[in-house]
Structure 1
């Protein structure tokens, strides 16, 4: 690498860090992301085994260990939260991020007293990460976890460069790293203490070491045991173990790992030893970092989601296996859950591609990435022309190091793209590779001026969208802003309704030097999304109407419900009418507050259309709000992309005071 290239890499990594570390307090540490909230909740009870303990066995016994993610340990407590005592818990997340977050927090607690006096008190690093603000453990864990996630994602940018340099040269590696640095999906997920960024980091690192091992051991004349291939394979296996320990989907990394092992073993006297070394390293690292995936068989047996029948029921005694099977049943649509019904009617593969291009990567980077994948497959297959026979094709492919990343990307895309559940974050583990292939594609253009222009357009398009997206963190989270309005305008003791699966407002927040409490306001939940099909009947309607008649205020803080129920009239023949009646004012509720925060480009909001897909007309107050807030509507968005950090939030007041009978009259009921 030249000095200029080294400087460019440093600039890319600094830019990536700045984009990911900006806005760590994006929700005021109110824990508005439910997965992060649960992981942090569990993290407050995690204590690593004490080496000098008088009862070493108890620390590893599933029922009593404070190190076990699958049970609430007896006697556990943490300020400001409720910790269940000696109860099982459904921890469906990777253990590696959980343990890393706890370790990082404990290290920060040790060094903070020395660092805080040396740094400005108003820095987020000082107040939040080092906890100069004196937050309780539940909030401090989230701050450290988010910072750690951001740093891991910067590490992903670095490994993409290293992989690109090894496969295509430093220019392509730098371009791919720069494109990934400004990819919005990565920037957003780096703000959450959740599993996907860790899986992505370890997956990219694993592929890098696989390619390095292949290149070191590909020559039949060389001895892989003495040229570094063995060490690289062991590192690759270790990274695979950490990736699987972050999220079980990473088990697909065994395909390229076995391929790389075979390539290395072709030049060895015993061809089986590289695979044994690599898979053994993966297994050992997984066992060491996820011990209770192997130790805890205390869960009641049950058949989960129709998975393997009796075999599934037996495996489900393992708490880890039970959670994996439950997640499999969820993503396959075998388990009917309210928060997954949003994917009814979505097209496999195409929905993911649409969301990547429209939101996750943006149009420019999205097209570059998807085009790069097609190009990479074509580039590999084109070199096989003239090769006859499977053995000849296999031996030729063994000489191409691009095969290893493709053996991760293509099976992962084929499997994940077929899921019924299509959370956009599921695509993150392959986005770095899409951009790597896209960068290589751009630099392979024959026309030099065209190459440079295309790269500049890709970088500019990604950077503009990234800066627009990060701008949203400069505004207060809508749920916090709505809470301030409630505390200032609604008397304590007022009943406020929320919708199923949404958090309820207000949150506890400090105003004018005083702590205003959520518990000052009673809450009840409307259940339009529950009890579908034949159970969506008059009894369910009357129960919800009773709450509407009784309450004074109603919050609709996301499109989790109104984005789904109106789209499924066959499953919700009565409930599907509710939201349009509410928005039109026919239920006696008036919109009194609306707020949002969105990516902003040149002073204009880039907002999602949450009303068009379910076929709804927005309330007049929302339409007026949008007219005042100049912006562009970019079409539908995956709910998981907008609900945590950029939800449209509405508060309605019961001004009509309609009775249950009057409310029921607004609905078109069967038999009327």
Structure 2
């Protein structure tokens, strides 16, 4: 038998890696999907309780809170006057009257992106109609759907991790990276909660994959892919904004040949045009995805109503204050009396990533930095 399968260009090692990757996915899936109702409906996670309650109320009757700028009576009157035929419920992009805006269905502080909640709500509604079971879109049904989506997101991250390693350093590195991530403690934990984290992580890793493609092939399609998922990441958690910097970094690295004086001006023009157009297209798609899936960062009432929503800015600012250390908030108590840097590092390695991935990740990071400083060939791929 030839080393490569006739007509397909697939080697025996390719088949072996494919089989091993399937085993990694099966093993990773087992740990992520087993015990999805581990807490037997008690919902101990406070963020999950908030998300579940919010999701169950989305697209329901309007229920304004005192957290809004205007008094409740005035908010009701405004929306009823604007949409008398629907009981005051406005369109999707109307931040003041939409029933998809968490602030309008009884939720106060909402500092998360809305895409994970929308995805869960839309999926739960579709399943409820398919099975003719309205409880799927209720509190516990939505929580169950949200946990499944979290587990699926983490499974897709394993696959995306493989493709990142494959593109940068080959199939065996990709397989090792996928194996290590499949055993990551924090990933397995997040698969058993319905929060924004798993979906946001998936969007970030797909944006990183897009940036890797931008750096290695520079095709417009790679820029499009990266831009879409940068926007989806922002729509899931606004604090994922630094991932956009990877787009610029990848484009800069792709454009480094411009500094080569031996290139013709025509070739320089082609490289510059591709990088410039690619970045512009990617940024446009980032903004578009954010507008579509985190619509209440803007007031609306239509798609082109792009005035920033003061209520959304207020919620983001309040969330920043709560995690700054200046607020007396129970989640901040874990940092009291802890050794700076060492405490989060030990938690990351021992309990977040796991010893295997933790040590491999930090060693790889240090080794990559050393190779970059020394100017080793291929160091920028890391």
Q: Normalising by the residue count of structure 2, what TM-score does the alignment of the two structures yield?
A: 0.78
Residue in structure 1 matched with residue 368 of structure 2 by the alignment: 376
Residue in structure 1 matched with residue 216 of structure 2 by the alignment: 215
Q: 1:296, 1:348 → 2: CA distance? A: 43
Equivalent residues of 2:128, 2:136 under 8 A apart = no
Q: Are 1:231 and 2:221 an aligned pair?
A: yes
Residue in structure 1 matched with residue 160 of structure 2 by the alignment: 159
Q: Are 1:38 and 2:39 an aligned pair?
A: no
What aligned pairs does 1:661-672 form with structure 2 within 5 A after superposition? none
Q: 1:108, 1:18 → 2: CA distance? A: 23
Equivalent residues of 1:293, 1:320 under 8 A apart = yes
Residue in structure 2 matched with residue 112 of structure 1 by the alignment: 131
Residue in structure 1 matched with residue 118 of structure 2 by the alignment: 99
Q: Are 1:277 and 2:281 an aligned pair?
A: yes
Offset of residue 357 of structure 1: 2.5
Residue in structure 1 matched with residue 96 of structure 2 by the alignment: 63
State the SS of the aligned residue for 1:63. coil
CA deviations over 1:46-101 (Å, ceiling 9, x no partner): 129xxxx96698224333311112222xxxxxxxxxxx4xxx62112221111111
Which is greater in Rg? 1
Residues 8-17 or 330-339, more deviating: 330-339
Q: 1:149, 1:295 → 2: CA distance? A: 29
Q: 1:242, 1:184 → 2: CA distance? A: 25
State the SS of the aligned residue for 1:92. coil
Residue in structure 1 matched with residue 350 of structure 2 by the alignment: 358
Q: Are 1:329 and 2:321 an aligned pair?
A: yes
Equivalent residues of 2:128, 2:137 under 8 A apart = no
Q: 1:176, 1:30 → 2: CA distance? A: 35
Does the C-alpha gap of structure 1 residues 318 and 14 become closer, same or farther in structure 2, counting only changes over 3 Å?
Answer: same
What aligned pairs does 1:633-672 form with structure 2 within 5 A after superposition? none
CA deviations over 1:458-480 (Å, ceiling 9, x no partner): xxxxxxxxxxxxxxxxxxxxxxx
What aligned pairs does 1:175-254 form with structure 2 within 5 A after superposition? 175-217=176-218, 229-254=219-244
State the SS of the aligned residue for 1:93. coil
Does the C-alpha gap of structure 1 residues 270 and 242 become closer, same or farther in structure 2, counting only changes over 3 Å?
Answer: closer
Equivalent residues of 2:154, 2:198 under 8 A apart = yes
Q: Which runs of 5+ in 2 are unaligned?
A: 1-12, 61-83, 259-270, 302-306
State the SS of the aligned residue for 1:44. helix
Does the C-alpha gap of structure 1 residues 246 and 100 become closer, same or farther in structure 2, counting only changes over 3 Å?
Answer: same
Residue in structure 2 matched with residue 435 of structure 1 by the alignment: none
CA deviations over 1:196-248 (Å, ceiling 9, x no partner): 2122111111111111122112xxxxxxxxxxx11111110110111111111
Offset of residue 276 of structure 1: 1.3
Equivalent residues of 2:298, 2:309 under 8 A apart = no
Q: Are 1:23 and 2:50 an aligned pair?
A: no
Equivalent residues of 2:181, 2:357 under 8 A apart = no
Equivalent residues of 1:161, 1:176 under 8 A apart = yes
Q: 2:136, 2:254 → 1: CA distance? A: 51
Offset of residue 193 of structure 1: 0.7
Greater strand fraction, Structure 1 or Structure 2: 1
Q: Identify the match of residue 332 of structure 2 among 340, 345, 348.
A: 340
Count of aligned positions: 327
Residues 244-253 or 330-339, more deviating: 330-339
Offset of residue 316 of structure 1: 9.6
Q: Which runs of 5+ in 1 are unaligned?
A: 73-83, 114-129, 218-228, 298-314, 385-395, 403-672
Equivalent residues of 2:124, 2:137 under 8 A apart = no
State the SS of the aligned residue for 1:280. helix
Higher relative contact order (CA 8 A, sep 6+): 2
State the SS of the aligned residue for 2:381. coil
State the SS of the aligned residue for 2:90. helix
CA deviations over 1:592-629 (Å, ceiling 9, x no partner): xxxxxxxxxxxxxxxxxxxxxxxxxxxxxxxxxxxxxx
Q: 1:189, 1:289 → 2: CA distance? A: 22
Residue in structure 2 matched with residue 401 of structure 1 by the alignment: 381
Greater helix fraction, Structure 1 or Structure 2: 2
